[in-house]
Amino acid sequence: MATREKIIEAALRLAAAEGLNSLSVRAVAAAAGVGATTLRHYFPTQAELHLVVATELARRPVDDLAIADDRRDPSDRLFECLAQLLPPGGRRATVESWFELHRMSAPAIAESAQRSLAERVRRWLTVLAGRGHLRPEDVDGYASSALALVNGLYLRALFQPGQADLDAAKNTIRWFAERVVDR
């Protein structure tokens, strides 16, 4: 792996574990196993490093999983797809990173990430609508509701960390998926 990619991967791991605010030059260099001078060669300013990490976080992969697998219950398929949008492990640092991403990145990056997720959720719902599990005219409204739900779960995890846990968030998403899908 090239040094630049090694630094980015180390920074992403650090951000996931401790939040974007933990991305100091020393901490990232140590996590990547490089010197601060080497890190500065690739990222002359901390702001540049933060922007690259924020961009990578915004582009995190979202899988279509088995949304088109008609052998499985459609609400289970929708639940699995939506559940992957939650912060991994429900860790507070990950939730804080989500907010920090929106605060410190260019608004276009955050907007692009939200637009990309909205398109993906619409695609999942369109697949289910095409198989008769919901009305096609409801796809856009349900997609908007699903994103509002996931974003609200992030907010709850940030502002009420003692009351929000990943299991409760998944139960909320399961409830939503079961209401949206006609079996």
Amino acid of residue 32: A
Q: How many domains does the chain fold into?
A: 2
Q: Tens of pLDDT along 119-178?
A: 999 999 999 999 999 999 999 999 999 999 998 887 777 677 666 577 888 999 999 999
Both tokens assigned to 168: 């409760």
What is the structure's pLDDT at 169?
87
Q: Tens of pLDDT along 25-50?
A: 999 999 999 999 999 999 998 888 88
Neighbours of 91 (CB within 10 A): 17
Give the CATH number for residue 129: 1.10.357
Please tell me whether residues 38 and 110 are part of one structural domain. no
Give me the domain span that covers residue 152. Answer: 61-180
Contacts 24+ apart (CB under 8 A), 30-34: 32/3, 32/6, 32/7, 33/6, 34/3, 34/6, 34/7
The tally of CA atoms less than 13 A away on the side-chain side of residue 74 is: 18
